[in-house]
Structure 1
Amino acid sequence: MPFTKVSSNSFSGQTLYIGLDVHKKNWAVSILSDHHELKTMSTDPNPDVLAKFLFKNYPGANYQAVYEAGFSGFGACRHFKELGIDCRVVNPADVPTTHKEKIQKTDSIDSRKLARMLRNNEISTVHIPDVDLEMDRSLVRQRFNLSKDLTRQKIRVRALLMQYGIEIPERFTKSQYRSWTKVYMEWLRKIPEVSLQLQQVINNYIDTGVILKKQLLAVTRQIRLLSTTEAYQTNCALLNSIPGIGTLVAMNLLVQFGDINRFKRLDELCNYVGITPTMYNSGDKTVAGKLSNRGRKSTKIMLIEASWIAVRRDSALTLRFNELIKRMNKNKAIIKITKNLINRIRHVLIHQTPYELGVIK
């Protein structure tokens, strides 16, 4: 519930710019007007506390606040807006840092910098998803994290076998020991000529892996059920028409993108995903480097893997890929194919039309 503001209009018509350096135990807060720094202070990490201070000491003003995206998520931003304070969130990578700020970094300096950037209209804010979308996004990300944890257990067992010179029998294929099939796990639990101590360690890893496999299966079922709901069913079916994109990949993209119409150009979507190379240009020399660190790694991995499938199933992409590898290696070529795939994903969702094989858009 918004606080009752003080009746005095001493700051009526003025805009206050509030930079927040957010931490778990406290917030560093800098409050700037159009011409002056009014106050820099530390406060409890609670929007209600800061709002009460602002309404009491600077009544009637137009309040604008900003903080960097991080562990605290978007909860504080939503709460500020409910209290009547226009709040935004900025990607830390979009906040420029001078050498002096690097060697003399303090919370107060960071909060002042954010407030100045907000006042100078230099803030490039991130999209704030609604609560339902963010919760769906958490479910999809949970599956990716569980999959990573399970892979770690498998790697640990393989490393242990190598450490003690235990070879995997030739009867097991690579896919069997990578996916931990039933027969492979039975062998792992009763490896011949292995000491009781080592077998116990291996069994402990297997027990953890079994739990993770069950959790992964449960979360996968929940995501598939979510894909059939009204919010996702139509768009999920459209994305399933694209070669290489199944239900799990489609759901990852849908919860990550949110409303696709917020990306006005293809470059905006590619930058958001992180399928853009770093660039160095000086004089006549231009060097394109590795992919930028922007975007979520899980989404990037899924799109690149989908692109490898698409170049085998779509003749138009196959021809383009074959042309690209004449002048660059396959790993660089697949990134360009991924950009084509992102363009097609955007086209399918915006125009609500199924994917057309053999057509370059």
Structure 2
Amino acid sequence: MVQSKGINFNGQNIYIGIDVHLKSWSVTIITESNYKKTHSQKSSAKELFEYLKKHYPGGKYKAVYESGFSGYSTYYSLKEYGIDCIIIHAADVPTTQYENVMKTDAIDSEKLAKSLKSGILKGIYIREKESLDDRNLIRLRKTLQRQLAGYKSRVKHLLYNNGVEYPACFDKPSLHWSKRFTLWLRNDVTLLSSTRYSLDLLLDQVTLFRKNLLKANRMVRELASRSKYAERYENLISIPGVGTVTAMSLLTEVDDINRFQNQREFASFLGLIPSCHSSGETICNMEKTFRGNKQLGPLIIESAWVAIRYDKALAIAYSEYCRQMKGQEAIIRIARKLSNRILSVLKSGKKYQYDRCR
């Protein structure tokens, strides 16, 4: 037995695949001699370390798990106990047909351990603990903005359902949700029923989310002024189309720009390269890949729409592309050019200079 007295694994790599769940882990351990053991345990790095120390003393522990709900917390917990660890994207784990058909936690953890031992896994970028809350703040601001828009739409839908007509002074959508518009909703609107509980509750939600969004905006501006981000932030907003939210999203999502070796790697991270299917002499470039940062890709495309209004070179390029394709397809190519500028600015540490349209 491995746990026999005197047995040790000094200098040997011990490969550990972990299928992470909220309350339990399925763990497969493989030694360099291909001895394999799978067990289930409580979701605890300490418990795993005690097990390894007892059954595989002296080994160099190397673990892997798939990115998911636990984020980086499992990684940092394992590192505290001296267990080297990588996190991988689930789609990057080689999977056989059998493993697809017979999917269990034990099979998943074994698949991870085998792939780790073979050296074919490439871990995702690991962020420093101190930068996690900065990124979460920017993401939460976007969530608040989306939820606020949802409640505003619900209010308008309720008005339509009840046949409420807007006064002439609110004919233009740009005047909606002004202080005057809100007072009209609060004081003058009547619904088909004699009560208006639903409208008042929705307006309370709009007020709450507006308050929280304003607070988040202040926090983002404060974050941008900190020494950690200030210089890079100023450089980024010198690029046409890049505003405060896009700049801070880039800084908090990218973290270390030096992890990207070239423009294609950076564009791939943003999700701005096309997927490709080729066979023999047939090569087919399709829509932009689904792989990429879901936060940044849409922001860069929005920035591209703004950039073509102010930057001569991008405006000319967009016009040329529109002769060959639809505007929605052309703007993706402009976004790719914009991503190259962003990479250049972040790498050089200098502001961007460009020819203005006006």
Q: Please give the TM-score of this superposition, normalised by the length of structure 1.
A: 0.92
The whole-number CA distance in structure 2 between the counterparts of 1:243 and 1:255 is: 20
Show the counterpart of 1:175.
Answer: 174
The 8 Å contact of residues 267 and 336 in structure 2, kept in 1 or not, is answered as yes
Aligned pair partner of 1:309 in 306, 310, 315 = 306
Look up the equivalent residue of 2:344 and give its one-letter code: H
The whole-number CA distance in structure 2 between the counterparts of 1:29 and 1:191 is: 63
The 8 Å contact of residues 64 and 112 in structure 2, kept in 1 or not, is answered as yes
Q: 1:99 to 1:188 in 2, by over 3 A?
A: farther
Show the counterpart of 2:150.
Answer: 152
Aligned pair partner of 2:351 in 344, 350, 354 = 354
Cα deviation for residue 227 of structure 1 reads 0.9
Residue 324 (structure 2) pairs with residue 339 (structure 1): no
Q: Which moved more, 1:113-122 or 1:197-206?
A: 197-206
The whole-number CA distance in structure 1 between the counterparts of 2:116 and 2:217 is: 41
Cα deviation for residue 46 of structure 1 reads 0.9
Look up the equivalent residue of 2:290 and give its one-letter code: N
Show the counterpart of 1:4.
Answer: none
Show the counterpart of 1:15.
Answer: 13
Q: 1:290 to 1:12 in 2, by over 3 A?
A: same
The 8 Å contact of residues 8 and 59 in structure 1, kept in 2 or not, is answered as no
Q: 1:193 to 1:210 in 2, by over 3 A?
A: closer
Cα deviation for residue 8 of structure 1 reads 5.6
Deviation per CA, 1:98-150, whole angstroms, max 9, x where unpaired? 33323321111111111111111111211110011111111111101111111
Show the counterpart of 1:116.
Answer: 114
Cα deviation for residue 244 of structure 1 reads 1.4
The 8 Å contact of residues 278 and 292 in structure 1, kept in 2 or not, is answered as yes
Deviation per CA, 1:131-190, whole angstroms, max 9, x where unpaired? 11111111111101111111110121222233334344453212233xx22122222234
The 8 Å contact of residues 14 and 31 in structure 2, kept in 1 or not, is answered as yes
Aligned pairs for 1:1-361 within 5 A: 10-172=8-170, 173-177=172-176, 180-196=177-193, 199-358=196-355
The 8 Å contact of residues 240 and 247 in structure 1, kept in 2 or not, is answered as yes
The 8 Å contact of residues 190 and 196 in structure 2, kept in 1 or not, is answered as no
The 8 Å contact of residues 190 and 199 in structure 1, kept in 2 or not, is answered as no
After superposition, the CA RMSD in angstroms is 2.0
Cα deviation for residue 79 of structure 1 reads 2.2
The 8 Å contact of residues 189 and 199 in structure 1, kept in 2 or not, is answered as no
Cα deviation for residue 191 of structure 1 reads 5.0
Q: 1:158 to 1:295 in 2, by over 3 A?
A: farther
Cα deviation for residue 356 of structure 1 reads 1.5
Cα deviation for residue 32 of structure 1 reads 0.8
Cα deviation for residue 197 of structure 1 reads 5.6
Identity, % of aligned positions? 37
The 8 Å contact of residues 17 and 65 in structure 1, kept in 2 or not, is answered as yes
The whole-number CA distance in structure 2 between the counterparts of 1:104 and 1:132 is: 40
Cα deviation for residue 203 of structure 1 reads 1.6
The 8 Å contact of residues 49 and 81 in structure 2, kept in 1 or not, is answered as yes
Q: 1:221 to 1:9 in 2, by over 3 A?
A: farther
Number of aligned residue pairs: give it.
352
Look up the equivalent residue of 2:175 and give its one-letter code: Q
The whole-number CA distance in structure 2 between the counterparts of 1:68 and 1:163 is: 47
Look up the equivalent residue of 2:138 and give its one-letter code: V
Q: Please give the TM-score of this superposition, normalised by the length of structure 2.
A: 0.93
Look up the equivalent residue of 1:14 and give its one-letter code: Q
Show the counterpart of 1:3.
Answer: none
The whole-number CA distance in structure 1 between the counterparts of 2:347 and 2:236 is: 12
Deviation per CA, 1:296-333, whole angstroms, max 9, x where unpaired? 33322211111111111110111111111111111111
SS at match of 1:312: coil
Q: 1:240 to 1:112 in 2, by over 3 A?
A: same
The 8 Å contact of residues 277 and 290 in structure 1, kept in 2 or not, is answered as yes
Q: 1:161 to 1:278 in 2, by over 3 A?
A: farther
